[in-house]
Amino acid sequence: MTTADDRTGDPSAEAPDGAEHPFGPELGPLVDEVRRLADAVGAKAQEAGAQQFAAAALGSLAALAELPGTLREKHPEVYGHLSAAGGELLAAYRAAVSGHERRWSAGERSPSEHIDLDTPSEHAAKE
């Protein structure tokens, strides 16, 4: 597993049991990217100070609605990157949900053949 170890933050840390990523190999890199984004946002929030972050978090919806426009004007490359990342997250979520829905809505599996190993077969009895 190539995800960050929660205790060390080391991205190369392996799971002791060698288990696969819990969200599957397709979503593993996406989950890692979301974790890195959350870490970066948390670090920026700590830099801004707890009071300023709390004020921004508790700010009015109008201020929150103006945030994308301000970000687009001041940092268009960051805005574009975040927009693309948001689109990719949404596409990955839709793909995951679609895959689960296909499995959930699929008909019953084909019946399996029961093989009784405790009783001798007719072929063995004839010999």
What is the predicted pLDDT for the residue at 94? 92
Question: What tokens does 83 get?
Answer: 């927009």
* pLDDT of 123 strictly over 60: no
Listed as own residue / partner, the contacts of 66-75 with beta carbons closer than 8 Å and 24 or more positions apart are none
Closest CA to 26 of 77, 91, 122: 91
The structure's pTM equals 0.35
What is the predicted pLDDT for the residue at 3? 47
Per the CB < 8 A criterion, the answer to whether 33 and 85 are in contact is: yes
Average confidence (pLDDT) over 89-118: 82
Q: How far apart are CA 103 and CA 99, in angstroms?
A: 6
pLDDT band at 89 (very low <50, low <70, confident <90, very high): very high
